[in-house]
Every structure is written in structure tokens, then in C-alpha cells.
Amino acid sequence: MEKLDSLLLQEIAGMHDIPMGAYNIRKNGEGLSRRSTANIEIRPKTDKPGIDIIVAPGTVNESVHIPVIITQTGIDDLVYNDFYIGDGADVLIVAGCGIHNSGDSKSQHDGIHTFHIGKNAHVKYVEKHYGEGDGLGERILNPVTAVEQGENSVCEMEMVQIKGVDSTKRDTKASLAAGAKLIVTERLLTHGKQEALSNIEVRLNGADSSAQIISRTVAKDSSKQVFYYNAVGNDKCRAHVQCDSIIMDNATVSSIPGITANSAYAQIIHEAAIGRINNDQLVKLMTFGLTEEEAEEIIISGFLK
Amino acid sequence: MLELQNISFGVDTDAGKLEIIDDVSLTVADGSFTVITGPNGGGKSTLAKLIMGIEKPTSGKIIYNGEDITPLSVTERAKKGIGYAFQQPPRFKGLTVRRLLSLAAGATLPEDECCSYLTGVGLCSKDYLNREMDASLSGGEAKRIEIATLMARNLGLAIFDEPEAGIDLWSFSMLVKSFRAMSSGRHNSVLVISHQERIMDLADNMIVIADGRLKNQGTKEEVLPTLMGEFNQECDFRGKENADGKA
Ligand SMILES: Nc1ncnc2c1ncn2[C@@H]1O[C@H](COP(=O)(O)OP(=O)(O)OP(=O)(O)O)[C@@H](O)[C@H]1O
Ligand SMILES: [Mg+2]
């Protein structure tokens, strides 16, 4: 593997080498290498770019890595990934996209993901976005994710974007059957002139389904963040949306809640807070001998952890 | 040695200028255990913040070990060995107790060392090391962790602001023991703001601050008997101040 490739892979997927288990590595708009296992099949699509990932029912303690890297300038990559998670399976999926753009044209990756999660299955999905390179070319990531959760399934989604992505528009939709549970944590840091938009819509269709959306973001410089978080309760269910943003410099953040109950037994809470770094926290760390900048760093990285 | 020379601190309010600290001069000798006491709102915490550099005096000088530190920032004073445990410790999302202790010490602390500081404030260390210093901690827990962060440092002057507040009886005994240990065999000075007699018992120097002024200074034996009388007249002299046109 080339040095730049492995650096990007490490950044987004924590991979030092070829990962254990099933994987598919995509580079500059093409499949680079792929491995299926006895229980997890990765099949390239024939009608459009992308792959089908089929996890056999009952598969436990296995992982799938599907990182995407872009190292050329001017790449516009659109890819469809469909996950079929069999009943009772328990898997970790590590996705993510790293863009190194040192040219002057924009590089863009739009990943369209669908998840069909079977009954009683448990999925942990981790997605990291990362950009670097000193060219003028923009680094753009617009992921679209649709999740369909079967009865009593659990889906944990962790989405992180800490550095170097100029523009991102994230669309996430989930629908939950009876007893299903969804936990989404989104962590985002924007700086410079970056813009980030995130739409999340959760439909709690089945009895005793539950959803928790936790968003922690930091907006620096003159960056811009907009969040539309929507929870719709169609049966006896519980949903909790929690958005917490630190705003600095000349940034703007808007957090727009949308909660709808179509059942008298739906219980939906939305909490949102936007504010500067607490001055007492800064001063406390400065009384340990840290500079104001060091204190800020520590508070932000703790907040985004 | 710490020396405050004619320190005053005022703020502008809607009702005009408010003098919170009014011409206070005092010294804290090397190796001493000083307790500052006085009525609520008297200006004790403000005085501590002025020493730490969190607030800047309107006039007067602060001399520490012969150097005028009045223009120095909080960070610079911390590096010179001054530390301050807040009356109300701030909470941090995502910072573990262990990390906080390490940040205080200025180096990554080994687990057993962290544990010994927590035990010193009556906390069972294994339950707390990896907890976050966030809003989920109770008031007394946060307070004791705050105190432990000063114990983890090597300070020339350690200031504790009402360390006893919100702390249960059992932990309080532990705390008094830790303060006693600190006051013997130490090289540094300890300045404790307190309303507790058991902490005053440890003092070799006591200072009374009321209404922004130094009201009394001396040994515990000299100062303690006068305290009750003074507190009784508190309402009285507040009334007089108001008659003088002071806020
Ligand atoms: N920035 C400020 N603006 C206005 N008033 C202030 C400010 N800081 C402190 N004060 C006032 O100054 C007075 C002294 O406050 P300080 O916190 O120093 O009292 P204290 O002696 O520590 O009281 P306690 O025993 O209740 O902790 C109080 O009346 C307080 O309201
Ligand atoms: Mg006080």
C-alpha cells in the first residue's frame, strides 16, 4: 500500500494494515481490493457503482471495513452500498472517507448507504470523514443513509467529522419496527469557511421502539452548521434528541428541531443548546498553568470525544 | 511569601461603582497555614481570585516571593506555583477525573498516584478515576475532586475556597486529616477560606474579611473570640454603610 493511502486509512478507519474479516477498499472511484468471509459476502453491483454487503443470519463478532479514499484532485465519486444484515447477527461496520486533495479542482464523494437490519440483529456502524491537502480544490462529502430496522434490532451509528472537509450535507433516515432501538451520535468540528448540514429523520413505527440522537459540535472561525433533527412517533415509543454546540469566533450554528407524535403514547424530547466555551472551565485549566489556547483545545477535544 | 499591598477591586454596576475589596493589605508567610473567614458576601472569594489573577485589582500590588506579580496572567501565576480550588468547581464534558488530575499535575499520573489523591479527600478511587468530571457528579463529589487537583500539584501557595462546603461528616474528617498533613512537613503555604472551626484549629494565622475590608488578623486564639461579637453586629454596620450612601 502507498504511504498516503495507509495514512488516510489509518485516519478514517484506524487501519494499520489489511483489516481482519471482510473488507472493501475503494480508491479514486474504483474498487482497490476486497475480501468476503464465510458469513459476510461483499458483492460488486452490476448495474451501478457500489457493493452489496450480505451478512448471514446469526453471524456474531465479525466486522466489515469499507473505507473510501480519494487522493486525486477532480474526482467525483458516487457509490451505492447496500447492507443486508441477517436476523440475529451482531456486526461492526467501519466506513468512512478520507480525501487528500492537493490539486485545485474539487474532490467529492457521495456515499448512498442503505441498511436492511433483520430481527434481533445488532449493528454498530462507525463512519469517519477526513480531509487534507493544501490545494485550492474543495473536499466535499455528501452521505445519504437510509436505515430500516427490523423488530427488536439495535443500531448504533457513530458519525464523526473532525477535520478538513469543506462542505458536507448529510442525510440520514431511519424507520424502526417494534422494539427496535437506534442510537445516533454525531460529532462535528468545522473551521475556516466550512459548511455542514445534517438532516436526520427517525420514524418510530413500532410499539416500544426507541431512538436517541446525540449531537456534539464545535463551530470555529466563520464556519456554518445547520441541523434539522426530526423524530416522528407513530406508536408507543420514546425518542430523545440532544444537540449541544460550542460556537466560537464568527461561526453560525442553527439547530432546528422537529418532533411529531402521532400516538398519545409517544414520548419525544428535544433538547438543544448553543453557547460559547464556559469561561470557568477555561480559567480552571489556566490555573493548572495551561495557556488559554491549550485550555480551549482540551475542552473541545473532551467535548467531542 | 505573599504580600498584598493596598489592594482594591471595584466593579461598575447599574447603581454606580461598587467597591468589593477595599484597601486590603496583608501577608501570608512561607510555610504558614492561613485561614480566611468572615460573613457571606464579604469578599473572600474575590480576594482569592485577585491572588490567582482571575480578577485584576483596580489598585494596589501583589508581591509573591519578592516579585510584583500584579501584571501576570493566571497561567503565569500558576507556573510560579499558585493554585486555587474554586468554591464552585466547573464541570467538563468528556474529561475524566484521571485526566483532570494529570492536567493539574502537568504530567500523566500513574494510577496509584491518582488513587492516593482521591483517597486523601475521602473518595473511593476505583469508582471515580474514569468518571467524567461532568454534571453527573454530585456537588460534594465534584468539590472533593477539585480539592484533589490541588493536592496533585506541587505548589508554593495553595488556596482552597470553602473546601468543607457540601462535604459529609466522614469525608470532612478525612479532609481535616489531609490538611493537617499538609500543614506539617510542608514547604509551601496554605490559604484556606473556611467557616469551619475544625479547619480554623489548624491555622497559625487567621484573617477576617468583612464588607471588603480586613477586619482582623492574628492567631486563632486572638481572633476567634472576637468573631462572634463582630458577626452579631453585622446587620448593624451594614445599615451604617448604607446610610453613608454605599451600595
Ligand atoms: N463581578 C461582580 N459584579 C458585581 N458584584 C460582584 C462581582 N463579584 C463579586 N461581587 C459581589 O461582591 C461581594 C463579595 O463576593 P465574594 O464572592 O467575594 O464573597 P465571599 O466572601 O466569598 O462570600 P461567601 O462566603 O458567600 O462565599 C458579593 O456581594 C458579590 O455579590
Ligand atoms: Mg466565596
Under a CB-based contact definition with an 8 Å cutoff, are residues B220 and B200 in contact? yes
The position carrying cell 459476502 is: A41
Give me the residue label for grid cell 459476510: A40
Q: What is the rounded CA–CA span in Å between residue A98 and residue A139? A: 9
In contact, A219 and A187? CB cutoff 8 Å: no
DSSP string, A151-163: TT-EEEEEEEEEE
How far A291 CA sits from the closest chain B CA (Å)? Answer: 6
**Helix (H) or strand (E) segment spanning residue A277:** none
Cell digits of residue A248 = 466560537
d(C-alpha B36, C-alpha A271), whole Å: 42
Alpha carbon separation from A257 to A96, A200, A230, A232 (Å, rounded): 27, 10, 6, 11
Q: Distance from the CA of B21 to the center of ligand 2, in angstroms?
A: 13
User: CB of A148 within 8 A of CB of A116?
Assistant: yes
Of A201, A203, A89, A94, nearest to A154 by C-alpha is: A89
Facing residue for A287 by CB, picked from B83, B92, B99: B83
DSSP A118: P
pLDDT exceeds 60 at position B186: no
Q: What is the C-alpha separation between A235 and A207, in angstroms, rounded?
A: 5
Q: Which of A62-66, B15-19, B47-51, B189-193 has the lowest mean pLDDT?
A: B15-19
Which residue among B75, B88, B89 sits closest to A290, beta carbon to beta carbon?
B75
Q: How far is CA A286 from the centre of its chain?
A: 33
Three-class DSSP category at A34: strand
Per-residue pLDDT at B223: 86
Q: Give the sign of the dihedral formed by CA B180, CA B69, CA B194, CA B131.
A: negative
pLDDT at B246: 44
Question: Is there a contact between B75 and A284 if contact means CB atoms under 8 Å apart?
Answer: no
**Chain segment A110-161, per-residue pLDDT in tens:** 999 999 999 999 999 999 998 888 888 889 999 999 999 999 999 999 999 9
Nearest CA to ligand 1 atom 17: B45
One-letter amino acid identity for B11?
Answer: V
Residue ranges around ligand 1 (CB below 6 Å): B 11, 13, 18, 20, 40-46, 87
Cross-chain residue pair A287–B89, CB shorter than 8 Å: no
∠ CA B11-B17-B23 to the nearest 5 degrees? 70
Cα separation, A2 vs A98, in Å, equals: 14
B229 pLDDT tier (thresholds 50, 70, 90): low
DSSP states of chain B: -EEEEEEEEEEEETTEEEEEEEEEEEEE-TT-EEEEE-STTSSHHHHHHHHHTSS--SEEEEEETTEE-TT--HHHHHHTTEEEE-SSPPP-TT-BHHHHHHHHHTSPPPHHHHHHHHHHTT--HHHHTTSBSSTTS-HHHHHHHHHHHHHTS--SEEEEESTTTT--HHHHHHHHHHHHHHHSS-SSEEEEE---HHHHTT-SEEEEEETTEEEEEE-HHHHHHHHHHHHHTHHHHHHHHHHTT--
Cβ distance A144 to A110 under 8 Å?
yes
Region B117-124: mean pLDDT is 84
Strands A167-176 and A139-141: parallel
> What does the pLDDT average to over A232-243?
96
Which residues in chain B touch residue A288, judged by CB atoms under 8 angstroms apart?
A: 78, 83, 103-104, 106, 149, 153
B11 alpha carbon to ligand 1 midpoint, in Å? Answer: 11
Q: Residue B247 has what pLDDT?
A: 41
CB contact under 8 Å between B75 and A291, yes or no, is yes
Closest CA to A65 of A87, A44, A35, A90: A35
- What is the rounded distance in angstroms from the CA atom of residue B204 to the CA atom of residue A198? 61
Contact at 8 Å (CB) between A212 and A184? yes
Q: Which ligand is nearest to the CA of B161?
A: 2
By the CB < 8 Å criterion, does B64 face chain A? no
Categorize the per-residue pLDDT at B185 as very low, low, confident or very high, splitting at 50, 70 and 90.
Answer: low
pLDDT at B125 over 80: no
Whether A278 and chain B come into contact, CB under 8 Å, resolves to yes
- Test B93 with A290 for CB contact under 8 angstroms: no
Mean pLDDT value of segment B23-43 = 93
Q: Given pLDDT bands bounded at 50, 70 and 90, which one contains residue A6?
A: confident
Smallest CA–CA distance from A299 into chain B, residue: B92
Sign of the Cα torsion B127, B129, B134, B138 reads positive
CB B21 within 8 A of CB B43: yes
Domains in chain A: boundaries:
3-303
Average pLDDT score over residue span A245-265: 95
Look up the ipTM and state it: 0.89
Predicted pLDDT at A19: 79
Mutate to test the interface with B, among A288, A297, A299 (most CBs of B within 10 A): A288
What's the pLDDT score for residue B244? 46
pLDDT tens track for A72-98? 888 899 999 999 999 999 999 999 899
Instruction: Flag whether pLDDT at A200 surpasses 50.
Output: yes
Strands A154-163 and A195-204: unpaired
* Mutate which: B49, B88, B93, vs A, most A CBs within 10 A: B93
DSSP structural state of residue A282: H
Range in A162-166, A273-277, B103-107, B238-242 the model is least confident about:
B238-242
| Residue B234 predicted with pLDDT over 90 | no
The pLDDT of residue A223 is 95
Rounded to the nearest whole angstrom, what is the distance from the C-alpha of residue B213 to the centroid of ligand 2? 14
Question: Could you tell me the maximum CA-CA distance found in chain A, to the nearest angstrom?
Answer: 62
Task: Tell me the shortest Cα–Cα distance from B93 to chain A, in angstroms.
Answer: 5
Res. A178 pLDDT band, cuts 50 70 90: very high
Q: Which ligand is nearest to the CA of A279?
A: 1
Cell digits of residue A234? 407513530
Average pLDDT in chain B: 87
Q: Are A300 and A218 in contact (CB under 8 A)?
A: yes
For residue range B87-112, list pLDDT tens digits in order: 999 999 889 999 999 999 988 888 88
Q: Which residues touch B198 (CB under 8 Å, ≥6 apart)? A: B172, B176
pLDDT attached to residue B238:
47
pLDDT at B183 over 80: no
